[in-house]
Copies of this chain bind each other. A is one copy, B any other.
Amino acid sequence: MTYCLALALNTGLVFAADSRTTAGVDQVSNYRKLHTFQWPGERVFALLSAGNLATTQAVVKRLELDAADDEAETSLPGVPHMSAAAEYVGSINAEVQNRQGGMAQQGMSFEATFILGGQIKGGDPELSLIYPEGNHIAVSPDQPFLQIGETKYGKPILDRMISPTTTLEDAARCALVSIDSTMRSNLTVGPPVDLLIYRKDSLVLDREIRFKMNTPYYASLRKQWTEGMRRVFDGLPRFEWEKQRDEG
């Protein structure tokens, strides 16, 4: 399994991903799920992937090949806007899966899901979730984040904390906590954690950080969060009978 998320704030975009890949309990390894493509000053893209590893690798490889090929019909450096980029990634995704069609009928799943975000000069930053079927949806201002993979454990903290006015750094911290909660509750989501922060209109991806569990900042964030939750928990209101007992 996997857990990736991306947040769309008024001031930019935040991307975060775990790195664990499992194919059965005795085949656990680490693969990067955050992929970036940039033409500084012109356009930047970040892609988060979940699902079949062969499919996601084939899609990423194809994006790289097309980008390097001046004669490619469509490519990330060539698409006119972010929505066309999402459509392009979606069509490659569906195409790669269709090649395995025969096996899929035997009960194997080659599905992959992506989150694509970025900005093209002249346009706004955008974020889309691309389904295995190739179609996509944009993020909504009412719920300015998208998640793929093992999404439920880490959703409550996002629901409580995130709005479009959240700062990039607060959103990044929230994403790290969301992934930490997921890793504690589900073994198939694991470190290192990749984080990318994109400031609107900068048109460059220059703030990408990889956190291991013992990276000082991440260790300290996790510790402070756990201790803080415990403090809040210990301070929750007593039941009526506890007060009487304490007084009696």
Give Cα distance in the complex from A160 to B191, angstroms: 18
Give Cα distance in the complex from A229 to B239, angstroms: 21
Question: In the complex where A155-B153, A156-B153 touch, is A224 in contact with B235 (Cβ < 8 A)?
Answer: yes
B185, A152: Cβ atoms under 8 Å?
yes
Q: Mark A151-192, 1 if CB is under 8 A from B, else 0.
A: 011111101110000000110111001000110110000000
Give Cα distance in the complex from A161 to B230, angstroms: 7
A156, B181: Cβ atoms under 8 Å?
yes
A160, B173: Cβ atoms under 8 Å?
no
Interface size class of A (residues with CB under 8 A): 35 or more
A109 at the interface (CB under 8 A from B): no
Closest to A182 in B: B156
Give Cα distance in the complex from A248 to B152, angstroms: 40
A184, B156: Cβ atoms under 8 Å?
yes
Q: How far is the CB of A222 from chain B (nearest CB, A)?
A: 10
A236, B159: Cβ atoms under 8 Å?
no
Q: How far is the CB of A2 from chain B (nearest CB, A)?
A: 15
B224, A173: Cβ atoms under 8 Å?
no
Q: Mark A213-248, 1 if CB is under 8 A from B, else 0.
A: 000010011001110111111011111111000000
Q: Of residues 115 to 132 in A, which have CB atoms within 8 Å of B's CB atoms?
A: none
Give Cα distance in the complex from A231 to B225, angstroms: 10
Give Cα distance in the complex from A117 to B173, angstroms: 39
